[in-house]
Each structure stands twice: as C-alpha cells, then as structure tokens.
Copies of this chain bind each other. A is one copy, B any other.
Amino acid sequence: MKKKVSLKDIAKKVGVSTATVSYVLSKGEESRVSLKVAEKVKKAARELNYRPNQIAKSLKSGKTFTIGLIVADISNPFFAHIARIVEDEAKKLDYTVLFGSCDEKADKSWDLVQFLSNRQVDGFIIAAAEGSEKQIEYLKTNNIPFVLIDRYFPEIESNYVVINNYKAAYKATRRLIQTGNSRIGIIAYASSLHHMRERIRGYKNAMEDGNLEIKEDWVNEIRFSNIKQEVKLAIDNMLLSKNKVDAILFATNTLAVYGLKYIDELNYKIPEDIAIISFDEGEAFDFYYCPLTYVKQPLKGFGENAVKILTDQISDPALKKEQVCLEAELIIRKSCKRG
C-alpha cells in the first residue's frame, strides 16, 4: 500500500509549518495566514493527492459528515429522485449519504435508525413510516438532528419539509369536477399518516364544496403490503358496481401504476370512460397513451430544504426547529376531460 501523504509532506513542499497547513486545510474562519500562502498549501495538497483521514477527523470533531436517508423504497422514482437531490446538495457541503429503505414498516425503519446511528451519522432525513412516532421521539430525546420529509407527525415538534397535501388533493378533485365529472372516487393508502389523511380530506372537502355526494365504495384505502390485489378490488368496486364512478383520483404514483394497468386490462378508455388524476410524476405517466394530469411534487424543494435545515442544525443544535410547507402544482394534460 502506498504511504499516505501527511500534513508534514505538504508543509515540506510549500516551505511552511505543519501547523499552517493544518490550519488552512481545516478551514478556520479567521484569516491567520495570507491568501497567497493558503492558495499554495491547497495547491500542494491537490498535487500530492492528500486524503484527510475521515475517521481521525471524526474522532476529533465528533462529526462523520454523513447523513442517513430513510425512505420507503429507493427504487420508487419519487424517492430515487429525492435521493439524487439530497446526494447533490449534501456533496456541496462535503457530506455523504447513507441510505435505507423501510418498506413503510415502522420496525424496519427503527432497525435502520439504529443501524445508521451505529455508523454515527450526524443526522437523518426521514420519510417516516406509519407508527414510527417513538423513533422520532427517540431521536429528539437523544439530540440526534433530523428532518422529516414528505410526512410528519403534527403532534411532535420537529423539523420537516412537506407539501400542503390537503390543498393539492382539493385542487385535483376540483379539477375533475370542473371538467365535467361528478361521480369521483379516490384510491389512497390505509394509513394513519398525516399526509395520506390530508389527501383524503382534500378530496372529501372538494366533493362537499361541489355539492357532490360520496357513495359507499368510492373512498378506497389500500394496504401497502397488498397493493396489487387491493387496487384491483377497489377498481372492481368502483367500475363494476351500481355506483359506477366517472373519475378516479390516485393518491400516489405506485397506486396509479397498478390501477392504470388494471383499467387497461378491463378495456376502459381514458378519458372517455374514466377521467384520471394522480399524485406524482414519472416517465410512465408521460408514455401512457393518454398523458396524465398529475400533482407535481416539488422534489427539488424537498431535497434542498431538508439538507439545508439538517446541516444547519448539525452545526448549531440550538437552532429553532424549521417547518417548511411547499406548494404542489397541478400539471394539466389530457386525462380529465371526458365526452
């Protein structure tokens, strides 16, 4: 193994003291050396391919410059895109990202929190699973910085970056009504998580404000563990019953992907037979024969805000908790207007 380049090697090359090199490379805020010397040191470090030992640095600073990212599933495009943005933002600040997928299960999420804590991550960005309140309390009690994204627990004071889910679902439902639909169903997850409750509430209130009745079978809550079967059942209930709907709102991209595949199997045409709006975006929606109208979530906003808030809090744990609520945008395409 090649001998590692040390601060001493750099000092020797530039002709300054090791203390000066150490000072420049550890980026002290006050300027104790001239800009010219600082430049020379940095140039020599680059030329010699100097690699600071992060474990030694960690022991000294108590920081590892790693962030733990816990999402439901990294292979879901919604989370994969957020991961990419978190990665890019973290890298700008010299942080790396450790990640894990909890499959919407609180025990798997707890496992990941512990697992990543054991790697001494400096903080967490978490898309919380249902029933994970105790983990969040645990992080708070142990002063481990964290930011919740996409979902949060209203009863727990914490940093979070979310969208106004109520408003987004209200606007989407309103759009379905305005384009001539009145028998509108929703397919969401059976979850006590606030963001999901808010999406359902937005749908219900928009129906109420439009003086439209919501029939039995129109509010479908699917278990994450059995999506494919239960989406089929929900669609059967909505399309093959006496209370047939003329429009469906899907509360997530995954629900829509399964739902649209089944609607195609049944040979229903969109938008002629059924109007559709879904949350989230994706190439799948672009390629669908009828380009979907969808609720575009601000993925960049999630990632950028989460990394900023988290790294600020890592630097200064005394900072006030920050709550960011972003707006989603309804992207109008062709899946609403029937007849």
- What's the nearest-Cβ distance from chain B to residue A78, in Å? 10
Residue from B59, B98, B115, B142 in contact with A98 in the complex, judged by beta carbons closer than 8 Å: B98
Q: Which residues of B contact A289 (CB under 8 A)?
A: 287, 289
The 0/1 profile, CB within 8 Å of B marked 1, for residues 57-84 of chain A is: 0110000111000000111010011011
* This chain: copies in complex: 2
Q: Nearest chain-B residue to A283 (Cβ)?
A: B284
B119 near A2: Cβ-Cβ < 8 Å: no
A20 at the interface (CB under 8 A from B): no
A210 at the interface (CB under 8 A from B): no
A117 at the interface (CB under 8 A from B): yes
The distance in angstroms between the C-alpha atoms of A51 and B110, with both chains bound, is 13
Q: Nearest chain-B residue to A96 (Cβ)?
A: B98
A84 near B101: Cβ-Cβ < 8 Å: yes
The distance in angstroms between the C-alpha atoms of A261 and B291, with both chains bound, is 12
The distance in angstroms between the C-alpha atoms of A52 and B117, with both chains bound, is 10
Q: Nearest chain-B residue to A84 (Cβ)?
A: B75
Q: Nearest chain-B residue to A79 (Cβ)?
A: B80
B75 near A81: Cβ-Cβ < 8 Å: yes
- The 3 lowest CB-CB distance pairs between A and B, nearest first, are A283-B284, A80-B80, A75-B84
